[in-house]
Structure formats: structure tokens, C-alpha cells
Structure 1
Amino acid sequence: MIKFLRTHTLLFFFLLTFALSWAIWIPMAMNYYGIFPIRMDPGFVMVFRLFGTLGPAVSAILVSLLVGGKPAVRALLGQIGRWRVGWKWYAAAALVFPLLLLASAGIYSLVPGAQPLPVVEVTAGSLLVIMVIMTISVMGEEIGWRGLALPLLQQRWTAFNSSLILGTVWTVWHLPFWMILGELETFGWGYWLMSWAFITAGAIYITWFMNNTGNSLLMVILFHWCYNVLSVGFLPVSSVVPAYAILIVLAWAAAITVSSPFGQKWLGWKKYGGKISLPGITTDK
């Protein structure tokens, strides 16, 4: 069994991640559409759907422990402590995509006849709740996606192709969670394709600054947290399709810029892509 895991580590990680998260989300999605045999309380769904976001982290820790033992787990979690990366990488992680979010809202407001973006009423208490929830969910995702999956993908594929693969997997993983939120019913499948486009652009951007910071998970957590807090707590641009389309265009402009020779010249050379490894763990053969 261990030999199989060592030769199919990435595949096993993906399968286990989906199993752990979807075991929580699929019954809740069924409940949303009234086809689950037991009716779930809305408060229960709101709280326990968060546990599904822990699937990637739990899977990554279990896989690392089984394949590489405690040294692999320490190496996996040790990436969170890589904070000495230079101020420009903090700016790249914390500011760029929130600024794109603000820019997309500003551009959208100039469109003739544009409907107003939803107004989110935020109190100190609700903001604190959002910040705590985002901390848990972001760490639950990124310890797996970027802590384990991205290094393994880059052992076999280029940084760009690894980002496309991970962005696609990341999008599919979200599907039952979005069903719980009613997005399929509200927007249809076309909206999910837009989400794939946005998530994939974000994955390329994340790979760029991770490869330039020696796989600093702290930077990825900061990136994901800052964007989510702003988009969920203050400016839900993705809830209005035309505004979301503008954001996607801006996100891809950023992704193309940082993955081009011009972007690497001005924003930092790719020093670490495909060279990060975890003890005892290699990609699928």
C-alpha cells in the first residue's frame, strides 16, 4: 500500500481531498435541492460546510505522514513559516488582486445602465467572524493545494501547465460547495465556467510568487485571505456577472504579465519552480 502511495502520491492526494470534502458538501447540496432524506437546519449547514474546506489540508498531512513520515509533515507545514521574502512579495500577495477587485468594480460602475453592486452591511462583529472563517478555510485549502500539490505537479510539468491543472482541479472541487450556495440555480453553468477562468488565472499568479519565494505558504495564505475578506465582506463583485467578467479579464492580464519574460524581468526571476521537494515524496510515475 505504501509503495503504491509513493508512486501515485499526487493522484491519491486529489482523490482523498475530494472524498473528504465532498462527503460533507454533497449531502448539503442534496439538502439544498430537497432530495436529502433528512432536512438539515440552515444554521447547521452554514457552520459545518466550513469543514469541507479542510479537506485539502487534512489530505496533505495524512499523505505526507504515510509517504514521508514526520519529516515530510514538518516540511509541509514548515512552508508556512517562510516569511523572509522581501516587501515586494508581500505587496504582490496582499495588494494586487484586491486592487483588481476594486478596479473591476470601478470600471463596471462606468458601464451605462449597470445595476448597482450588492451592498454588504458589515459590523465589527460580522467582520471578525468573516476574518476567522477565512483564516480557517484558506489554511484548509492552501496547505494542500500549494503546500503539496503544486510542488508535485511542478516536478512533472512546467509551472504554467501545473497552474492550469491545479486551477481546473481546484474549480471542480468547489462545485458542490457552490451548489450549497445556490449559484447553479441563480447563474447557471456558464457562471461556473467563468469561475474556472478566474480561479485558473489566480492559480497562475500564485505559482509565480510562490516560485519566487521558495514556496512561502504564508504568502499564499495572505493572498487568499486578503482577497476573500474583501470580496465576501465588502465587495461581492462575483455576484454580478458583467462585473465578474471585467475582473476575470484583469486577472488574466495579471497572470499573463507575471508569466511573461517582461513580467519576470521586472517583478522577479523564477528561482524555485519545480525544485521544492518534501522528504520521501515524489510525483506520480
Structure 2
Amino acid sequence: MDVVGLFRPLFNVKYIKEVSKTYLIPHIYVNIILSVSYFLLKTVSPFCDILFTDCSLALQQWEWLTFLGCVIVLKNRKQASSAEYVSVACMFAKALNLIMFYQNMHFVFLPRPVYKGPEFVTYFRGPHLKNEIARDKRVTWVICFYAAWSPPCVTLAPVFSEISAEYHLENLQFGKIDISKFPEVAEEYRISTSSFSKQLPTVVVFQEGKEKTRRPAISAKGTVVKYSFTKQNIIKDFEINEIYNQCRKSLPKQKKTTSEAEKKEQ
């Protein structure tokens, strides 16, 4: 096969002029820049450091990009030229850029009202979590495994803080650990920390030093069961009220009275 012959047309002066006339025009390259603007600003430092809270795309945004690729392929099946193909692709890409920019700006200027009160959460580092759970098995722990860059984890944070303020006892404690910083802990508790993970956040209840309840759960087939971390769902599915009553009954009388007074004040 004559490899040089295959690439010879690329060095033809006439061919280069035709390509330049078709593609090297403001309309095309400005459209391409606008089409990739969100991706570049969201993932390239220092732009992402200034404009966003992290420099990675969320799982939902990766899904949107995949869907965009499918739409572009379907819509461009009958395009007469590559220039028209690029034009249509840019049109859909710019529309998605607007949606993702709006999503971020909406949360910045019109954020959802969140709990801003006190919290009773212990923040763990590395092996300290396992040691603390094993140290006193009379204490029930509600642990949130999270990653600072994950939007669902950020959304859960005020909800988890509010629950900790309402239900904490000396023998019912709440804790958090950023497993993106401690991959060995994520591996030990079988939680994926990849960008596509559906296990972030994961909340686990430990009683008598052993895992009792976990959400999101893992099905018998090994798949992650989708879960909505609302305050109502957490209290119901983790049986927080029942656990609180059990723990309160086992407290000494003086501490039990103190905990009741604190709950009334809240």
C-alpha cells in the first residue's frame, strides 16, 4: 500500500485553500469555541477554580454529553457536507452549554434554602473511623461516606447536619469521612469513588460495631439501588426514631433528662 499516496492530497495547495475557505472562517471557529466553552471552563485550571467549586464534571453532565453525541449522530445522517455537519453539531452543543451554564448560575444566584443551624458531626480521617466504631460497641454510629467534589454529597451535607442536631446522644453519634482522600477506607467499605459512581454519598448505620443498614443498597446482582437522600427518607429507612428511643432508654437517668431538654430547645 502506498502510504505516501494516501496523504498526498492533504498537501495539495488547492485542497488546502478549499479547506481554509470552508473552515478557517470566524463563523466556524467561534462556534466551535462556544460549543466546548463549558467543558473547558469546568475542567481546566485556573478557570474552574475561579468559576466553580470543583474541576470535574458530574455524572449527570457526562450523561448529557453522551446523549448529545447520540443526537448529533442521528441528526447528521443526511448532511450533504462536512461543513453542515459541523454547523449542526455546534448548534446542539451550544444549546447544551447554555443548559449547563444556567444550572450552575441558578444554584449560585437562587440557591435552595438549606439548614444552617448547629451540627453534631465527627469528621474522621483514615483508620480513625474503624478504630472509633470498635472502641465502644455501645455507641451507635451513623456515618456518611462522601466526596467533596460530588454534587449529591454537597446536597446531603445540610440534611445530615440537621438530623445530627436533632437526634445526637452520647450513645448515638454521627460522623463523616471524605473517602476521596482515603481510598483504602472506600475499598474497605466497598464504596466506589470514581466519577461515575452511584454510591456517593453512602450512609451506613453501625450498631454494636457492625454494619446494620446501608443506603444506597447493593442488590443481589451487585448493582447499586438508586436512593433519594431526603430528610424524611433517611429518618424512615434508617429507623432513626426507633434507634434514638432505644439509645435514650439505655442512657443513665441524668443524661436522659439532659437529652430530652436539648431536643425540646431545638
For the aligned pair, the TM-score class normalised by the smaller chain equals under 0.3
In our comparison, the structure showing a higher alpha carbon Rg is 2
Higher strand content, 1 or 2: 2
Question: What's the TM-score once normalised by structure 2's chain length?
Answer: 0.25
> Which structure features the higher share of helix residues?
1
